[in-house]
Amino acid sequence: MIFDHAFETEAQIEIRELARKFSREKIAPIVEHDEETETFRREIIQGLGELGLTGIPTSDDFGGAGLGYQEYIGAIEEIAAASGSYAVSIAVSGLPQVILEQQGNEFQKKKYIPKLASGEWVGSFVLSEAGSGSDAASLRTTAVKNGDSYLLNGTKLWITQADSADVFIAMARTGGPGAKGVSAFILEKGMPGIKMGKREKKMGMSISHTMEVLLENVKVPAENLIANEGDGMKVAFAALDSGRITIAATALGIARSAIEAARSHANLREQFGKPILDFQGVGFMLADMLNDYQAAKLMVQKAAMLKDSGKPFSLQAAQAKVVATDMAMKVTTDAVQILGGSGYTQEFPVERHMREAKMLQIVEGTNQIQRLVISRALKQV
Ligand code: CAA
């Protein structure tokens, strides 16, 4: 087996195969059509939920599967191999779960996590703004305390699946400038004042909608504040550490699909009287693609293992994210090259994989921000 999962535990293989079967049977047949028409199907999330795949690392006390990130990354890789969009959707719906499990109080955990973990609800993470992307802590949305509630005002941008979300974790400023002035809140679909703005027209990942979200005098009960006032950026950054592992796993799935397509083509396509795989220019390219995929996979697994064992993993999550997503960009670009004229057409999935990979170098912290996190860890004090 060139894609060797033999070192995975039985539980990891079982979860991977559940996800693979569902993705091949239910997602792969509709993905090209739905990417074209920008159609997000809620029933896909519900179907994944029925298999226990929407809350894999979430505690079974709150309706999750009670497993770890090592199982989670296998499932995400399989979903991504069929559709990058649905892998990102599951990953983003996981962010409110990880936030509430780590930082929520008992009331918040019981109220929100079970429905997110079961796939009945979809979650969204509402951080970025037009003026605060990489510099997340400079956000300008305000939350002003008024009796037993807060009034939120501002405009958020690049928010994944906000238009289908039931629960949002939104960061807003309750204090002065900088990270210490930011707090995190739980918002619910239907709260007056939450409005959807424009939906971005993207180069890929179009099943997963990217929304502008307008918050106009949204009254949020004070009990929906997560942790304490001023903890918002810590809540967000800690969640992004976990999220970056899932984005890296998404990159693995996309890259693997591209390698499979390029390998098949290189075996079948004959030029000058032999399969093009037999020309070293192509064969060595595929060899490098496979090597790079497997090296990245080890880094993603290492970050997941560290997280599962409760050890610090911010650095390794950033490394896994940058290495896996840069790998996916290179591998998908090379796959298009190996398929040649066919690779550039929509008859084959590799051009979609290439467009999907590009997004992963940007979301949940650009790869420049990951390198910033890594270089900060190298600073000698
Ligand atoms: N975990 C917990 N706390 C953390 C942390 C982490 N990984 N990283 C930093 N913090 C804490 C710091 O300790 C600090 O608190 P104290 O002052 O009390 O020590 C506070 O958070 C602020 O940290 P910094 O001073 O390091 O923050 P900074 O302003 O210098 O920013 C950064 C650092 C790495 C550049 C950060 O801003 C960053 O990661 N930017 C990228 C943002 C991002 O990933 N956005 C993606 C949005 S979501 C998305 O893509 C789409 C979607 O739908 C999911």
pLDDT of residue 5: 72
Residue 8 known to be catalytic = no
- Whether 236 is in the pocket of ligand 1, judged by its Cβ within 6 Å, is no
Residue 69's pLDDT band (cuts 50, 70, 90): very high
- Which residue has the CA at smallest separation from atom 39 of ligand 1? 365
- Whether 136 is in the pocket of ligand 1, judged by its Cβ within 6 Å, is yes
Q: What is the CATH number of the domain that holds 196?
A: 2.40.110.10
pLDDT of residue 102: 95
pTM: 0.97
Residue 4 pLDDT > 80:
no
Residue 177 pLDDT > 90:
yes
Give the chain's count of helices (H) and strands (E).
11, 10
pLDDT of residue 2: 82
Contact 230, 183 (CB under 8 A): yes
Buried b (16+ CB within 10 A) or exposed e, 241-255: bbbbbbbbbbbbbbb
Q: pLDDT digits over 19-62, tens only? A: 999 999 999 999 999 999 999 999 999 999 999 999 999 999 99
Q: Which of 102, 117, 132 is the last residue of a domain?
A: 117
pLDDT of residue 289: 98
pLDDT of residue 120: 97
Ligand 1 centroid vs 1 CA: distance in angstroms? 40
Q: Is 142 helix (H, G, I), strand (E, B) or coil?
A: strand
- Which residue has the CA at smallest separation from atom 18 of ligand 1? 180
One domain, residues 282 and 363: yes
User: Does residue 301 fall inside a structural domain?
Assistant: yes
Tell me how far apart the 2 most distant CA atoms of the chain are, in Å: 79
How many separate domains does the chain show? 3
Residue 154 pLDDT > 90:
yes
One domain, residues 376 and 238: yes
User: Does residue 143 fall inside a structural domain?
Assistant: yes
- Which residue has the CA at smallest separation from atom 21 of ligand 1? 234
User: Does residue 298 fall inside a structural domain?
Assistant: yes
Torsion angle of alpha carbons 149, 151, 157, 162, nearest 10°?
50
Those residues with Cβ within 8 angstroms of residue 25's Cβ, 6 or more apart along the chain or in another chain: none
One domain, residues 39 and 85: yes
Q: pLDDT digits over 326-381, tens only? A: 999 999 999 999 999 999 999 999 999 999 999 999 999 999 999 999 999 999 87
One domain, residues 91 and 188: no
User: Does residue 4 fall inside a structural domain?
Assistant: no
Q: Which of 171, 195, 229 is the last residue of a domain?
A: 229
Tell me what the mean pLDDT of segment 283-289 comes to: 98
Q: Which of 117, 152, 174 is the last residue of a domain?
A: 117
Q: pLDDT digits over 190-248, tens only? A: 999 999 999 999 999 999 999 999 999 999 999 999 999 999 999 999 999 999 999 99
One domain, residues 375 and 238: yes
Q: Give the dihedral sign, CA 95/360/45/165.
A: positive
Regarding beta strands 167-173 and 123-126, do their DSSP bridges make them parallel or antiparallel, or are they unpaired?
parallel
Instruction: Work out the percent of the chain whose per-residue pLDDT is above 70.
Output: 99
d(CA 353, CA 82): 10
One domain, residues 271 and 255: yes
One domain, residues 204 and 294: no
One domain, residues 277 and 299: yes
One domain, residues 163 and 206: yes
pLDDT of residue 7: 81
User: Does residue 1 fall inside a structural domain?
Assistant: no
One domain, residues 238 and 372: yes
**Chain-centre distance for alpha carbon 193:** 27
Q: Provide the residue range defining the domain that includes 52.
A: 10-117
Q: pLDDT digits over 114-140, tens only? A: 999 999 999 999 999 999 999 999 999
Select from 160, 233, 245 the residue to mutate for testing ligand 1; criterion: most ligand atoms less than 8 Å from CB.
233
Contact 93, 38 (CB under 8 A): no
Q: Which entry of 35, 101, 356, 364 is annotated as an active-site residue?
A: 364
User: Does residue 212 fall inside a structural domain?
Assistant: yes
- Whether 231 is in the pocket of ligand 1, judged by its Cβ within 6 Å, is no
User: Does residue 90 fall inside a structural domain?
Assistant: yes
Beta strands in 42-181 (DSSP E): 123-126, 142-146, 149-160, 167-173
Query: Which atom of ligand 1 is least distant from the CA of 363?
Result: 50
Ligand 1 centroid vs 26 CA: distance in angstroms? 36
- For tokens 């990270």, name the residue: 179
Q: Is 132 helix (H, G, I), strand (E, B) or coil?
A: strand
Q: At what angle do helices 84-103 and 232-268 cross, to 10 degrees?
A: 150
- Which residue has the CA at smallest separation from atom 46 of ligand 1? 364
Ligand 1 centroid vs 7 CA: distance in angstroms? 34
One domain, residues 262 and 347: yes
pLDDT of residue 380: 85
- Whether 362 is in the pocket of ligand 1, judged by its Cβ within 6 Å, is no
Residue 270 pLDDT > 90:
yes
User: Does residue 305 fall inside a structural domain?
Assistant: yes
- Which residue has the CA at smallest separation from atom 44 of ligand 1? 365
Ligand 1 centroid vs 100 CA: distance in angstroms? 17
pLDDT of residue 168: 98
One domain, residues 195 and 136: yes
**202 exposed, middle or buried (CB, 10 Å; 0-12, 13-18, 19+)?**
middle
Supply the mean pLDDT for the chain: 97
d(CA 146, CA 49): 38
Q: What is the CATH number of the domain that holds 81?
A: 1.10.540.10
Q: What is the CATH number of the domain that holds 272?
A: 1.20.140.10
- Whether 245 is in the pocket of ligand 1, judged by its Cβ within 6 Å, is no
Ligand 1 centroid vs 179 CA: distance in angstroms? 8
